[in-house]
Structure 1
Amino acid sequence: MGVSGTGKSTVGGLLAEALGVPYAEGDSFHPAANVARMSAGIPLEDADRWPWLDAVGAWVRGRGAGGGVVAASCLKRAHRDRLRAAAPQTSVVFVHLTGRRPLIEARMAARTGHFMPVSLLDSQFAALEPLRADEPGFAVEVSGTPEEVAGRVRAALRAPRSTTDAP
């Protein structure tokens, strides 16, 4: 989870490969209307996100005990709650990829072929609600190479957690 440009897709793919589980690109679950809005520089409203989150949740639910990795922004607590509700029998762990705005903006400006414009980064940061102590997951800083970030995620997944953050 995290704002656009943090490397969710790249790190998620590397993580899934390392764990030997399926990977899904969350953006592929967006209906065409959502992609058109974002492409036009119009931030999504929660009403736009609900069907998308339900579709992502269905993918998660379909993985069952075998698990998987999906890259999805899940910026607000309500988004994460909706995703968990769509996959109630699974153990969902959120990895919040975090970074300083200048780094993320530079990454967004350098990428090609993505529908999300840099102009929406402010709206993403404004909507972002970091994980709370009672949510399953943890934050990982995105500075460094994608391989380094994926390594930090794997290490955090292996680390013992308290009952408040256990997956």
Structure 2
Amino acid sequence: MNFIGLDQAKSDELALALNDLLANYQLYYQNLRGFHWNIKGPQFFELHAKFEELYTEAQEQIDEIAERILTLGATPIHSFGDYLAKAEIEPAVDVFDAENTVSITLKNIQTLISKERAILELAGEADDEGTSTLVGDYISGQEKTAWMLNAYLG
């Protein structure tokens, strides 16, 4: 048992999955920053504000994920090289138009949700309510955002 009363082996498995999620969040975050800075076209004002909202939320979630990894007794990865090596989400470079930035954001959110659902299952098996609550809250918010982005794309 670890210091919060969870099976150490299950906590270690969860920490690995959370580090993978952390890497993907870092790429998601950086893509949103780039979209916020570089969006062009008639939807500039609405998307500039939306991307800022999303990256601000992601920044908070990144911190929460890293702190959860620490709570489980592990170390969060913390180098861009590690993020790039682990993440499924890819850097979006030179993307400036509304349709592509929104499509990439939607795809990235779908990746995060998929990873979070897998973590939710692991957390349930480990009786880890803290991780379950954290990730469950993320899924709820991201599903709504995915719906809105999908509606935006028509």
- Establish whether TM, by shorter chain, passes 0.5: no
Greater fraction of residues in strand: 1
Whichever structure has more helix as a proportion of its residues is 2
Give the TM-score normalised by the residue count of structure 2.
Answer: 0.30
Q: Which has the larger radius of gyration?
A: 2
